[in-house]
């Protein structure tokens, strides 16, 4: 979070998304000023602005990295009703002193949406180079690059219609070949009478189309973010949802005769944890690589971390309140987290300190 605070100075407007690459050494940000910026971490741990460009003609909502197997590739989604795919090129540019300059090239512009494209995510690398978008019109679109060496060619493979506007989506990253491709989508529709705001879809190999498995009827509040946990050998899936609180759900495939005959997975859905620690809207949820630690951010200006223990019970373990180095000792000790009916001082939990900062690189050229 320290990095996110520092990079505000480099953007002219509100930052909507921050994404790290696969190795955690590169960071991309996008904002309301229509710009995307890429930062690299140097050997001293400092984040250096290496690229900045105007990516869209409207606010850029989301930015995401492709797996490095496909090169240095980004995708962005915007209020201007488009999604774009960008590739970093290292080559020789005209002009003195620009040999070996890195610059980002727009490889394709996806213009099928008639409304704001609210989220964009690359699919699991085991399925090739796939890209899913969702929009405020309630449509999920799945694209595929048939030739990963030619990112200017993308084919619209599927269109999935939701009954509500879509705000966020997530691919199930399971590596189990017995698990079909799965996508969960959230809606920020504010009307609770419209029913559940999370939809789960599965790709059916027999019909070659995406089938809705479940509408999670217990989630009727606007959903701002959603994320499947990495699946390291589990027989079930774990889904985190950010609404007015943080919810963690188990999605367990049910093996019965009906599912076997239809070829459509039936899910047993259970809410295993719910945290209201933010006492405000929750905007982002994300997992660690092992899938046993969940981070969330909210309108309370904090990052909160929740961890699963040995008996599969989820507990809050840490709170990040801005830059802890700037808190007085009294302020630091006054921060607490709630564990059931017990209030635990923040000083007795994990403490985070700033390791690096963003250098002021306003003179960096963009291409």
Gap between the Cα atoms of 38 and 10, Å rounded: 11
Tell me 281's DSSP state.
-
Cβ(256)–Cβ(276) below 8 Å: no
Cβ(238)–Cβ(196) below 8 Å: no
Gap between the Cα atoms of 142 and 67, Å rounded: 17
Tell me 230's DSSP state.
P
Note the helical H segments in 78-165: none
Q: What does the block give as tokens for 189?
A: 């529709």
- pLDDT recorded at residue 206: 85
CATH architecture, domain 69-90+98-348: 7 Propeller (2.130)
Predicted model pTM: 0.82
Tell me 290's DSSP state.
T
pLDDT tens digits, the chain, 367 residues: what are they? 445 455 655 666 789 999 999 999 999 999 999 999 999 999 898 999 999 999 999 999 999 999 999 999 999 999 999 999 999 998 755 555 555 578 999 999 999 999 999 999 999 998 899 999 999 999 999 999 999 999 999 999 999 999 899 999 999 987 766 778 999 999 999 999 999 999 999 999 888 999 999 999 999 999 999 999 998 888 899 999 999 999 999 999 887 766 656 667 889 999 999 999 999 999 999 999 889 999 999 999 899 999 998 888 999 999 998 654 433 334 444 544 443 444 444 444 444 444 444 444 333 333 3
Gap between the Cα atoms of 36 and 103, Å rounded: 12
Cβ(169)–Cβ(226) below 8 Å: yes
Gap between the Cα atoms of 24 and 5, Å rounded: 17
Q: What does the block give as tokens for 315?
A: 């507990």
The domain spans of the chain are 69-90+98-348
Q: What does the block give as tokens for 283?
A: 């905007």
Vertex 132, ends 129 and 136: CA angle to 5°?
160
């Amino acid at each position: 979070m320290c990095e996110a605070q520092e990079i505000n100075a480099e953007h002219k407007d509100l930052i909507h998304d921050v994404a790290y690459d696969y190795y955690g050494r590169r960071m991309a940000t996008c904002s309301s000023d229509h710009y995307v910026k890429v930062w690299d971490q140097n050997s001293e741990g400092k984040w250096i602005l290496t690229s900045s460009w105007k990516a869209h003609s409207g606010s850029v909502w989301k930015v995401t990295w492709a797996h490095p197997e496909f090169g240095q590739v980004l995708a962005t989604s915007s209020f201007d009703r488009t999604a774009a795919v960008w590739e970093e090129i290292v080559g020789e540019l005209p002009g003195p002193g620009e040999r070996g300059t890195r610059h980002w090239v727009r490889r394709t512009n996806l213009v099928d949406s008639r409304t704001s494209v609210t989220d964009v995510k690359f699919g699991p690398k085991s399925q090739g180079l796939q890209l899913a978008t969702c929009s405020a019109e309630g449509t999920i679109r799945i694209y595929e690059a048939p030739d990963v060496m030619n990112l200017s060619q993308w084919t619209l493979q599927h269109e999935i219609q939701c009954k509500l506007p879509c705000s966020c989506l997530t691919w199930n990253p399971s590596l189990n070949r017995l698990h079909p491709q799965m996508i969960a989508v959230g809606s920020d529709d504010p009307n609770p009478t419209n029913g559940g705001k999370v939809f789960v879809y599965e790709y059916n190999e027999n019909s070659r189309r995406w089938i809705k498995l479940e509408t999670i009827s217990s989630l009727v509040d606007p959903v701002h973010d959603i994320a499947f946990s990495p699946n390291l050998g589990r027989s079930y899936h774990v889904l985190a949802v950010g609404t007015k609180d943080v919810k963690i759900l188990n999605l367990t495939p049910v093996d019965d005769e009906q599912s076997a005959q239809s070829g459509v997975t039936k899910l047993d859905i259970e809410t295993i944890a719910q945290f209201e620690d933010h006492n405000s809207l929750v905007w982002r949820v994300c997992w660690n690589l092992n899938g046993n630690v969940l981070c969330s951010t909210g309108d309370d200006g904090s990052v909160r971390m929740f961890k699963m223990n040995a008996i599969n019970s989820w507990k809050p373990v840490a709170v990040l309140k801005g830059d802890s180095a700037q808190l007085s000792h009294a302020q630091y000790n006054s921060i607490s987290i709630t564990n059931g009916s017990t209030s635990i001082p923040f000083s007795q939990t994990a403490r985070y300190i700033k390791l690096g900062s963003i250098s002021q690189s306003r003179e960096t050229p963009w291409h």
